[in-house]
Chains A and B, each alone.
Chain A
Amino acid sequence: MAFTFTATGDLTEMNTGAAADWHAEVSGYFNASRNPPPFSFAGSRNQFFNPADGVEADAVEKDIGWTAFPRPLTISSATDEERWFLAEESRFEQVEYCEWSTTRDASGKVIKISFTCEDRNYFRALFRHQPDVVLSLYREHVSPDVQMSDLVDGLGNYVPANRWNANSSDGAMHMIGQPNTIGAAVELVAGACVVRSNPDGTLKTGARELILCGRYGDAERHSDPTIGAEVNELARAGHVIAMANPPQLAFESISFSGWDVPDGVAPEHCWTHTRGADGRAVRGVLEAPEGASFVVGDIRINGKVIRFGGQVADGIRIKVTGLAHRLGQATIEAETGCLGDPVFGAAGGATPTPTPAAGQVNRFRRI
């Protein structure tokens, strides 16, 4: 039976044409990422595969999760207040495959926070075939005031960072940050499948040393090094690796530890996954239950009222689901250098150094 990549979150809104388009898009990510970048010590990607080419019966899945709050802001801020404030300034600061928008009342009090880990390219594919569905999604999840003209450019093409999806206060339909795409995650997994060794022959195992050496993502984030380290552990075990179907970012969990909700309401009753199947949710909304006497800005986390979406993002975990098959059967070709290192003499690592013309420039590298 032909394999088809299903929609993120197992969403069912795509018609046949859109679904085929999306399958081709995602399959393209995998195919492109099978080619190592055209630099020295890129390493063989023989332990990475496209699930569309077939998955063996021994396949196992592994969830890989991380904190949604952007680490770059954490390590540049002195206090929680500072990093929460900065994260609210721009969606482009929200770089952990999760973005949010905070809705406030006239006094500035928070009444709703919408979190999304949906891919902009999914919406592009959907829009190509079903623009009215995209419009209705915006009206349902962002604002009933959204007009089709708000979503397109002069040529009628969908604009991901449109006026209803461009900042952290007017709505968030899907992610818009440059690195926040499924394609980037696929490339990250592919790059992390390269086993790398130290000069003494021991294998690199650390999250940062691996990503700094393989340059498959941003070492300063939570997400990229974590994905890389866990995938590389699978590679060192001799497995052949991909992302599980549907390849996606998803909400793994939200912690309500330290929450104090007025009127004794359980915090779980304020949180709703509004898009995506159980375990694969791609959208989460924090809002007081209907009829409640309070709003989100009255909820306290660790003694502090919610004033920023980042306070909630601290407790949200995003995940990708890795897929491994042919367990322990791969030939491990440990790469002895790091991506882009100068090559001395004839030695070029475990794999020949490609010439720039030999490889394809990968669209999703995040170095």
Chain B
Amino acid sequence: MNILVVDDSKAMRAIVKRALSKIGRFAGATFRDAVDGQQALAAIQEDKPDLVLSDWNMPEMTGIELLQALNDAGISVPFGFVTSESTPEMHELAKTHGARFMVSKPFTPESLDRALEGVV
């Protein structure tokens, strides 16, 4: 499985990857990093991943802008947010654009696992 982790924080990318590695069905997954939406869009266009976990608030291109860009480009990929900001309005906006899950920071491997149930 090829997983793209998008976050401008190196620390958070490390935490997300470590949490995923502790979830049995992601054991052996290959991880790629992107530091913002633009870099993620390029990475997805080059090699479509099986799953994208993205921060919301990032420089250059935010997570929701990335999801919009993927929709505009007709690229369908299991996509969700891992974000410290999680309001009902953001949930609604994410859902409207086709996000499959939304995980609030801080999270645990268990809460991430639950959020990803049925996604991949």
- Pair from one complex: no
Q: What residues of chain A have their CB less than 8 Å away from a CB belonging to chain B? A: none
Q: What residues of chain B have their CB less than 8 Å away from a CB belonging to chain A? A: none
